[in-house]
Structures are given as C-alpha cells and as structure tokens.
Structure 1
C-alpha cells in the first residue's frame, strides 16, 4: 500500500514538472524567435499616422514625421500564428494590411520587416536583395 502511494506521488510530481516545463518554454522564447517590424516615413512633407495590432497587442495610434522611422519587436508565439496588421494614413489616403506573419519572412529577407511609406504606395524592403518592392497602393 505504501509503495503504491509513493509511486503515485512520484507520478504526480513528474506530471507537474513536465507541465511546468512546457509552460515556461512557451513564455520564455529564445532570441531566434524575436522579430522586428520597422515603419519608415519617406513621404516628402507629410506625417504618417498608423496603428498596429495583433490578436494580443494593440500598439496604439502613432505618428512618424517625414524621414523618420519607428520599430517594434516581438517574439513569435509557439501556440498561435503571430500576425500584426497596421492601418496607415496621411492626408486623405489610407491603407490597411498585414505587416508581419511568418509567411512574409522570405519577402522581408530576415528577422526584420521594413515597410516604407511613399507618395505612390507602401513598399517592403528586402534586406538580402537590398531592394524595395511596392506591395500596396494608397486607397482614397
């Protein structure tokens, strides 16, 4: 009887330790899972407004003056697909699209997705190829 209680106790402790290990592995991700999104304003004289969100985070309404940039970082989730969407605007034009999801990684060329706002649209800079690719037009 005592052996049964002791073995049940050890089984319980093993399950508890495994559960604790899984929980901490989801909350403390290695730097290899860290990603960055940079918003660059290359509008000649206008301030760029934007708001970026994920399912979990709302980064708030922000502005970037001409020829400046703002960057945020995050860790990829091991539970749900990490995705950030942003709404951009200046004067009377706007755009809304996904600025990060894992599938964009190749187009970004690395761990940084760099979005550049210009008068004729929004561009994604590919770090590896050193090229800007026009991805979206402004909507009126």
Structure 2
C-alpha cells in the first residue's frame, strides 16, 4: 500500500473511533451541571422544563421551595434547557441553561435562578446577572 492510502485508512479509522467511542473517551469533558430554581414569590409557580432530548415534566414549586435537576453538558457544548413559567404575576418561556452562556457564569457548576414578582432572575454569585421579565 502507498503512503497516501495508509493515511486515508488511518484517517477513516480515527473518524470511526470518534463517532462510536468519542463520548466515552471524552467523558471527563462533559462534566455534571445542576440547575436550581427557587420560588421567592408568595404564591406557587408552575414550571415545565425541557431540552432537545429530555422532558422534565410539569412541577409546582411552593413559595420558599425550589426545584432542581442535574445533567451533563454534551461534548459539543450545545446543551440547552428551556422552561415555561406560569405565575399569578405573569409567565413566559426562557432559556434557563445554555451551555456557552452558563458554563462560565455558574459557580461550582450549579446555576441558581430565583422566581420573583417581576420575573426570573439568574445569579452570578449573589448578584442578578440575567433577568427575564414576565410576559403578560
């Protein structure tokens, strides 16, 4: 076999290995993340969170309580979870975890959100750095 043919075979073999075993090989790269949504309103909040692959179902968060879930960021860094919120003050559907935005901003791989009378607040430490206002 010629050198050019050997390189082509090696290249195809590497692509095959990556496609079928890439996720296992890259396991340390897709670290675990948690999202916690706390209801600080006086009334209940109903949420329904989904990603492309997962439907987390409908949950009612009582006042002063929280709902949280964990997952792993995909190898490509495109993981996205969005949640629909229904409250007495308003509602809306918002991107609650977007890997490229939230991996750098979420402390210790946990993203904290607070549901308040004026909307949903995302926290970087103790300060609000993202604010989604309620849609009427």
Instruction: Report the TM-score, using the length of structure 2 for normalisation.
Output: 0.76
CA distance in 2 between partners of 1:99 and 1:27 (Å): 27
Contact (CA 8 Å) 2:29, 2:75: kept in 1 or not? no
Number of the residue aligned with 1:85? 82
Is it true that 1:51 corresponds to 2:48 in the alignment?
Answer: yes
What secondary structure, in the 3-state scheme, does the structure 1 residue paired with 2:53 have? coil
* Poorly superposed stretches of 4+, deviation over 3 Å: 21-25
| Separation in structure 2 between the aligned mates of residue 107 and residue 78 of structure 1, nearest angstrom | 18
Is the 2:90–2:135 contact (alpha carbons within 8 Å) kept by the matching residues of 1?
yes
For residues 129 and 34 of structure 2, what CA distance do their matches in structure 1 show? Answer: 18
CA RMSD of aligned residues (A): 2.7
Contact between 2:52 and 2:80, CA under 8 Å: does it hold in 1? yes
Gaps of 5+ in 1: 1-10
The answer to whether residue 132 in structure 2 is matched with residue 136 in structure 1 is: yes
Give the stretch that moved more between structures: 21-30 or 98-107.
21-30
Q: Which has the larger radius of gyration?
A: 1
TM-score, length of structure 1 as denominator length: 0.74
Aligned residues: 124
Structure 2: gaps (5+ residues)? 1-8
Aligned to 1:118: 116
